Amino acid sequence: MSHVVKKRKLDKSRQDSLYFDSYSDVTIHEEMIADHVRTNTYRMAILRNSECIRGKVVLDVGAGTGVLSIFCAQAGARKVYAVEACSIAEQAEKIVKQNNMEEKIQVIRGTVETVDLPEKVDVIVSEWMGYALLHESMLNSVLYARDKWLQQPGGVILPNKAELYITPICDPVVEDRLHFWYTVKDQYGVDMSCMSDFATKCIMNSDITVNSVTVEDVLSHPARFAELDLNTVTVEELRSVKGDFTCECFGSAAVNAFCVYFTVTFPCPDKPALVLSTSPFKPETHWKQAVLYLDVPVDVVQDTLVTGEVSMYPSEASARHICIHVDYTIGEQKKQSKTFSIPDWSSEAQI
């Protein structure tokens, strides 16, 4: 019997039902609504866009509890179609009623790919971002809705831009965990330092880890490696989102991981655009940061260049799971490559 864990490709409908099940529970909605940075930035962005929302028709793609639909109604929308595929739509209906907005907001249960709206819309609002921006692949659904339902020309999409960043980091937890095996002898008189190679292999694995990166762990100014214009980007282009990066290290440290994070931008007529940032330099959001561990830490000094290319694409086993491939060179080291993926949420995806 083989001990190798093979990933089994799930068919699309099974992937979708696992995905929508994950949004049928209260916990994820609690986490999103409690994320003040996220929810307040959307609220401010919608209210600051009231000029283009007032009297207009809005589509909320993936309405969840309906919070963004309510913000749009508060901004003066004539009608909001709150499309939600999973059973949380029932709660959205209750919330809409509780806020006396049944006249303006119509909750429609179904996927945005299959529902039939009575009319085209002037504005699309959606909170579609997953870990490392593209995990969950929900942006595909927003683009589908844009192409089918958004008035052209003149339709507005909120947010309308997304950007991806990368920076080398030194995660101190890794340093502590690797060092731990050298300290066992002092505590118990048993030398376990030979465990450090095994520990390195286990800790520096190929999973995308979702963690809070602190500012002190960041080793250079972050580099932007991709930008998506949501008015024009296509589903085809999302199959491979990639770009180069060059980072110049601040000082002496051991690089043991890369941190990947994103921002999305809301246009605000006559005012500076609003940015929802998941940078480690900004207040924390529930997305935290994506951490990609190297196989072995690499020492750097001030001005050491860390260069490379990042590419992000959906995994073969499940199109909703993101993979991140990084080709990188640190200082004089020769080019390295590593592919990272988000661990499957379902044991069904493995055999």
Catalytic positions, written as ranges = 127, 136
Q: Which stretch binds ligand SAM (CB under 6 A): 85-93, 165-173, 215-223, 322-330?
A: 85-93
Residue type, 262: F
Angle at 281 between CA 277 and CA 284, to 5 degrees: 60
Does 138 help bind ligand SAM (rule: CB under 6 A)? yes
Minimum distance of ligand SAM from residue 188's CB (angstroms): 47
Say if residues 193 and 181 touch (Cβ distance below 8 Å): yes
Which residue carries 């913000």 as its tokens? 71
**Residues in Cβ contact with 232 at an 8 Å cutoff, skipping those fewer than 6 apart:** none
Minimum distance of ligand SAM from residue 326's CB (angstroms): 26
Among 73, 75, 96, 112, binds ligand SAM (CB under 6 A): 112
Does 95 help bind ligand SAM (rule: CB under 6 A)? no
Query: By C-beta, is 138 or 223 nearer to ligand SAM?
Result: 138
User: Rounded to an integer, what distance in angstroms lies between the CA atom of residue 97 and that of residue 120?
Assistant: 24
**How many distinct helices (H) and strands (E) make up the chain?**
10, 15
Q: With the C-alpha atoms ordered 341, 298, 289, 248, is the resulting torsion angle positive or negative? A: negative
Does 62 help bind ligand SAM (rule: CB under 6 A)? yes
User: Rounded to an integer, what distance in angstroms lies between the CA atom of residue 89 and that of residue 83?
Assistant: 8
Residue type, 89: A
Query: By C-beta, is 89 or 169 nearer to ligand SAM?
Result: 89
Does 32 help bind ligand SAM (rule: CB under 6 A)? yes
Does 20 help bind ligand SAM (rule: CB under 6 A)? yes
Query: By C-beta, is 110 or 283 nearer to ligand SAM?
Result: 110
Query: By C-beta, is 124 or 253 nearer to ligand SAM?
Result: 124
Q: Whose CB is nearest to ligand SAM?
A: 62
Say if residues 163 and 195 touch (Cβ distance below 8 Å): no
Q: Which residues bind ligand SAM (CB under 6 A)?
A: 20, 23, 32, 62-65, 67-68, 83-86, 88, 111-113, 127, 138, 141
